[in-house]
Copies of this chain bind each other. A is one copy, B any other.
């Protein structure tokens, strides 16, 4: 087994704890981050499941400064830094690179729909030039069900040609395996790391030569997901995948982010974890009970949290 690269393997888009005033809570984020790192799961801070776009750039910078200041290894951090505004993206990305983050996961600007590849190319290109740091590694974030702004294979081709040292990979959250497979076949052989958008496609992605996955449920089920990444060549890999799918299926019966936070609240006994920022809404009491009931037969647990 080759030693894992800092930015290959399993990453969690780390859920963000908020306090009673809806302010981000760096101390609880650090605790959760350390628990994930201890199970070989890296931290894709400020992902979709982190409610990243429900926070200001200033709030995100304060959180990442707190985590790095507390000693979390920047080599295992892949914060999301893509905002609607070019200047916001540049500011957040620059700070992440200065703090030593090994990579950033970058949404395209997502307010305007139907924009051209020329416009998206210009967004990434201008950002790369403004950040102006050879340490920058960008993982493109393709999540059309939410962003509604896809990253086409042609755009990846063009960015790779122009910035081969900087454009390092992609997270494919399209939910469309044919797209992930196309990315794996076309770009992975050139050292462009393809991450599945959830563990549902983890085994298939690894068999296709991919880098791993960045998955919501890695927040709550990190050890079994990381185990499949370590042992995917073993005979029980398909059984492992099926077990992961069962746990994920229980969460997918509910709105994902509130469900993740409800589970963490339940298993830590820290009720404040259930808090979300608007426009999200936390699980109702009966939904939470139904989630816990749905998880029970899967053998789900969160040891050590």
Q: How large is the interface on A (under 10, 10 to 19, 20 to 34, 35 or more residues)?
A: 35 or more
Tell yes or no: A288 within 8 A of B by CB.
no
Which residue from B53, B87, B116 sits with its C-beta under 8 Å from A55? B87
CB neighbours of A108 from chain B (8 A): 279
Q: Which residue of B lies closest to A125 (CB)?
A: B278
Min C-beta distance of A30 to chain B, whole Å: 21
Q: Are B55 and A85 in contact (CB under 8 A)?
A: yes
A91-119 CB contacts (< 8 Å) to partner B: 91, 108-113, 115-116, 118-119
Please name the residue on chain B nearest to A55 by beta carbon.
Answer: B85
Q: Determine whether A148 belongs to the interface, using a CB cutoff of 8 Å to chain B.
A: yes
Interface residues of A in 251-278 (CB under 8 A from B): 277-278
Shortest beta-carbon distance from A129 to chain B in Å: 11
A111 near B110 (CB under 8 angstroms)?
A: yes
A148 to B280, CA, bound (A): 15
The digit string for A133-171, where 1 denotes a CB below 8 A from any CB of B, is 000000000000111110000000000000000000000
Instruction: Determine whether the beta carbon of A280 is less than 8 Å from that of B112.
Output: yes
Report the separation of the CA atoms of residues A115 and B277 in the bound assembly, to the nearest whole angstrom: 12
Which one, B110, B123, B147, B280, contacts A278 given CB within 8 A?
A: B123
Cα–Cα distance between A48 and B48 once the two chains are bound (Å): 23
Across the interface, which residues of B come within 8 angstroms of A111, CB to CB? Answer: 48, 53-54, 110, 146-147
Other than the known A48-B111, A86-B278, what 16 A-B pairs have Cβ atoms closer than 8 Å? Answer: A22-B126, A53-B109, A54-B86, A55-B85, A55-B87, A56-B87, A56-B91, A59-B87, A84-B84, A86-B277, A108-B279, A115-B281, A119-B279, A119-B281, A120-B279, A122-B278
Q: Is A57 an interface residue (CB 8 A)?
A: yes
- In the complex the two chains form, is A281's CB within 8 Å of B116's CB? yes
| Most B C-beta atoms less than 10 A away, residue of A56, A91, A111, A280 | A111
Q: How far is the CA of A111 from the CA of B80 in the complex (A)?
A: 14
Q: Is A88 an interface residue (CB 8 A)?
A: yes
CB distance A279 to B55 under 8 Å? no
